[in-house]
Amino acid sequence: MAIGAASLRLPAVVSEGGLAGRQPVVRAPAPDASDGELIQRTGAGDRSALEQLYRRYARSVYGLALRRLGDRGRAEDAVQETFLSIWRSAKTYRPERGPGAPWLYAVARNAIVDRHRGAAEPPVEVPDGLAQEAGPPELAEQAWTQWRVHRAFDELPENEREVIALAYWRGLSQSEVAERLGIPLGTVKTRTRAALQRLAVILEGEL
């Protein structure tokens, strides 16, 4: 997958984000630094950390954007907007809420959605080889979905979370859930139905 070098110059992205008042971290991050660490360092003004994130994720973000938008130019713009947004909002990342990659893909998804809404012309057809290419774009989509479902799960009442966790993550039947929790089977069914309906409302239009 080739990305136009002229369209994806990270220094231009960083300069657009503005460096005034932000002192870059002197020590460069280790090559094996976690995504979360790189995002936190980016939030502290470390340009090298953003560059490392860019090297790790520019291609997969581009692939995801191309699949969603169907246009190389808009996909490249979405990559620019993604890393500009990361530079601006990295300070809001909280590692205790989850790993860095899903957060980054959530930023990318917002940039892609914004670019899609602003499209004035229909997208050009994506070459079959790119449209069918498996790998990072699919993983990006999966990472976003998993992260968003977990965030939605956290919004459920505790009694609904526990039946969903046992049934869908532990693989227990509803009868086994009832036995494990010491509650009637009818209660398990009611809580499960309510939880799924609540999740559907929370996630409506997002997945």
pLDDT per residue as tens digits for the range 35-65: 889 999 999 999 999 999 999 889 888 888 8
Token match 């191309």: residue? 66
Domains and CATH numbers, the chain: 10-133 (1.10.1740.10), 155-207 (1.10.10.10)
pLDDT digits (tens, 9 = 90+) for 109-133: 888 887 766 554 444 444 444 344 4
- What's the token pair of residue 44? 């502290």
Helical spans, DSSP H, in 99-183: 100-117, 128-131, 136-154, 158-164, 174-181
In angstroms, how far is the first alpha carbon of the chain from the final one? Answer: 26
